């Protein structure tokens, strides 16, 4: 799967990407302060039937979370759609 890390200090895990196996976009927001065993604050595109063919709803969900740092919405969408088109399962990058 491709993974785009949205940079933030403090060990927080904020990722959005393309998973070619189930053919879905996904995003995960897990905050270090919540502890290692805590449930993610947001996890979309991870369960069977939870399929996102377009990254728009995930980008919107991330934008609504105060924990997520600002990011370039247009560039992120373009990068994710490029990953989907290339069915790139190994790309890892940051914005």
pLDDT tens track for 19-76: 988 899 999 999 989 988 899 999 999 888 889 999 999 999 999 999 898 999 999 9
Distance CA 31, CA 49 (A): 25
Say what the pTM is: 0.88
**In sequence order, what are the residues at sequence separation of 6 or more whose Cβ sits closer than 8 angstroms to the Cβ of residue 74?**
none
pLDDT of residue 10: 77
Confidence of residue 79 (pLDDT cuts 50, 70, 90): very high
Q: Is residue 88 scored above 90 in pLDDT?
A: no
Q: Are the C-beta atoms of residues 81 and 55 closer than 8 Å to each other? A: yes
């Amino acid at each position: 799967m491709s993974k785009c890390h949205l940079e933030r200090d403090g060990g927080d895990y904020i990722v959005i990407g393309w998973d070619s196996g189930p053919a879905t976009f996904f995003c995960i927001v897990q905050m270090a302060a919540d502890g290692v065993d805590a449930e993610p604050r947001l996890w979309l595109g991870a369960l069977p039937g939870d399929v996102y063919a377009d990254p728009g709803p995930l980008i919107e969900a991330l934008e609504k979370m105060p924990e997520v740092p600002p990011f370039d919405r247009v560039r992120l969408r373009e990068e994710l759609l490029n990953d989907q088109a290339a069915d790139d399962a190994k790309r890892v990058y940051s914005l």
